[in-house]
A and B are shown apart, each in its own frame.
Chain A
Amino acid sequence: MASAPRLEIRDLWFDYEADTPVLRGVSLTIEPGEFVAVIGQNGSGKTTLVKHFNGLLRPHRGQVLLDNEDILHHSVGALARRVGYVFQNPDHQIFGATTHEEIAFGPVNFDLPEDEVEARTVDALESFRLTEYADVQPAMLGFGLRRKVSIAAVYAMQTPILILDEPTTGLDWKSTSELMQLIGELNRQGRTIILITHDMRVVAEYVPRCMVIRKGEVLIHDSTREVFRQAELLESTHIQVPQISQLGRRMVTLGLQDGILTVPEFCDAYNDLMSGT
């Protein structure tokens, strides 16, 4: 895998209908190897924004740069080798006759040698625990499995930047944790991961950085702990931090350490508070 490029957005504007801009002058930089959650209300422009990162949408004004190069100079096909995109709805993506074929599709289209295609496909099947479904038609699988197939297919393309649009929707907590651990592993290998989600518990437990979108603008882009401390700002966009962070926040006036993200963190902080350290 090539090392991840720096992704930069400069003054990006976009609308689907004239005079109702969905993105209003977005500027941001996502560093190589960054693992960032994109959060915000339904309709705030999250999906529209990330669809610019791989050229699925072209800006009406502004620029999208990969390593300082405007992506307008690249075809969607060429960009697909650098930026992988997992759709929100797996059924918008799945069409293969078998799960194996579905996953091999990307690598085949990259004109990779046959043994490389096979190696990547087998690796993806194993990593997502899909081997037993290799010969099954993916459209016939249950929702959770279809979701995994759609991610495995993009995983096999081994793009240095991976975008996932609400990948944990409809998954139980166990499948969610397994998936997030796998995504964390991809990040540790050096990939840039951009994750759209409404699940703040997923963000708190697995995603180190966070970007808040409100009405087509980036409100804040910082560490998750710092973002989750901004109570008023989050309230203005109806984001609720996880229950344990809410509890922690209510006890800050009693001396509890600020910025609690997880249950073990709360326990430690509460213990410190009680023992007076």
Chain B
Amino acid sequence: MLRGVDFAVEEGEFVSIMGPTGVGKTTLCLGLNGIVPQSTGGMIKGDVTVNGLNTKRTLVPELARYVGLVFQEPETQLFNMTVEAEVAFGLESLGFPPKEMGERVEWALSVVGMDGYQKRSPFSLSGGQKQRIAIASILAMMPKILVLDEPTASLDPLGKTEVFSVVRELRRQRGMTIIMVSFESERIAEFSDRVVVLREGQVEMQGTPDRVFAQVELMDEIGLAVPQVSELAYTMNRRYHTTYVFTQLEEAYQKLTNNSGRPWRRDSG
């Protein structure tokens, strides 16, 4: 599945992982907290080191103190009667005293903007809210690293923005390290520091969103979408011999209107 993947993520970095369907992104995520190979079996060569701990030699519950994992479908992660019980669940299993547990639950809910929902059933919430509860239940355990495996795939645009915004704030305010698997190139360009692109079980390229999304042909060959404005820059460059690089809407607007609110005129001839 994975064949010699090499990359490092620095503390406090927001790294997005992209790759075609079936390339092994989920396997990689599960490898970051030891579930692969400890619970799943399989052959593993090479090492994953989290905060200096080797995931082959450190038990999953120990790794869970450092790495929290959020999955694609919020429904598969929620099973308690109330939001409060849901967020407390992990702490309870770790044997936290009630007082500290209560404080952490409250803190985690306020971080994801869901304070006041303590007594609600998680199932009565919108998709974006459910995913924020799933994130809160991981946050309550205060991991240093948050790994999210396509957390917005089943969400509507509002839900997607909610999740990306919460994740960005966690990074900004708490200095958390974020590793997110996603196809959402436009939001990746806006929110993340670095993009790692996987192909056929290996790292095909990595770099800032500007660098990665300028590789329009390569990304197309791999089967991944770049932001539409990056595709626009590429198409305009081919047609009109310009040298645009866009990754975000605002940037494209500014450059195409020459910062003056008027369309930019290219030299004739």
Contacts and interface: CB of A to CB of B under 8 A. Distances in A.
Interface string B222-257: 111101110110011001100000000100110011
Nearest to A267: B235
Contact of A170 (B127, B153, B239, B253): B153
Given A242-B228, A243-B186, A274 B265 contact: yes
A250 interface: yes
B154 interface: yes
Nearest to B229: A243
A238 interface: yes
A81 B95 CA distance: 55
Interface in A99-148: 142-145
B22 A254 contact: no
A264 B150 CA distance: 29
B255 to A, nearest CB: 11
A40 B127 CA distance: 13
A143 B252 CA distance: 35
A243 B20 contact: no
Interface string B157-189: 111000000000000000000000001001000
**Majority secondary structure, B binding face:** loop
B261 interface: yes
A193 to B, nearest CB: 21
Given A41-B156, A42-B156, A254 B232 contact: no
Contacts of A255: 263
A274 B263 contact: yes
Interface string A246-276: 1100110011100000011011001101100
Contacts of A250: 253
Contacts of B202: none
Interface string B5-48: 00000000000000111100000000000000000000000000
Contacts of A264: 235
7 contacts: A144-B21, A170-B21, A172-B21, A174-B223, A198-B156, A246-B249, A266-B232
